[in-house]
Amino acid sequence: MIILGIDPGTAVVGFGLIKKQNKLELIDYGCIKTSTDLTTAERLKEIDEQLAKLIRKHNPQVVAVEDIFFFKNLKTAIKVSQARGVILARAAKMKIQVEEYTPLQIKQAVSSYGRADKKQVQEMVKLLLNLKEIPKPDDAADALATAICCAHTIK
């Protein structure tokens, strides 16, 4: 099974692709970046187009998306929610199963501790995927953690 993990955002959308068989295997990771010169609508369109290309290239069976559990800044939460909407709609259009996870669930599944800090989660991503280095940038590492969470919890 191929799982596409997504860490949503408007400026940067982290993605991580893994294969779940007997073990977890890294396929690809990175970020979809949008320009600050674009309007919000144009940024969301860019996210949709780039995500569609990524899905067509790798053909995942599941898209795992980080959910917004709490927020410090309402304006940021709204922008992230808009990006999540585009991501969920794209998966639905392409008839791909969607699984959503809170940051607490992701941390618990990856590190066995729901209050783990970012560094602990990144180290576990590196360990679980047998990587030489922690994936960079952080958005991509978070997306891989989301995909790993899905791999550990999906039936």
Q: Is pLDDT of 31 > 70?
A: yes
Identify the residue whose tokens are 């940024």: 43
Token couple for 76 = 């940021």
Q: What is the 3-state secondary structure (H, E, C) of 69-108?
A: CCCCCHHHHHHHHHHHHHHHHHHHHCCCEEEEECHHHHHH
Token couple for 141 = 């590492």
User: H-helix or E-strand containing 144?
Assistant: helix 138-153
Class for domain 2-153, per CATH? alpha beta
Active site residue 37: no
Catalytic residue, candidates 7, 46, 99, 142: 7
Active site residue 117: no
Active site residue 139: yes
pLDDT by residue (tens digit) across 96-117?
999 999 999 999 999 987 778 8
Domain positions in the chain are 2-153
CA distance 26 to 24: 7
Catalytic residue, candidates 46, 99, 139, 142: 139
* pTM, 2 dp: 0.93
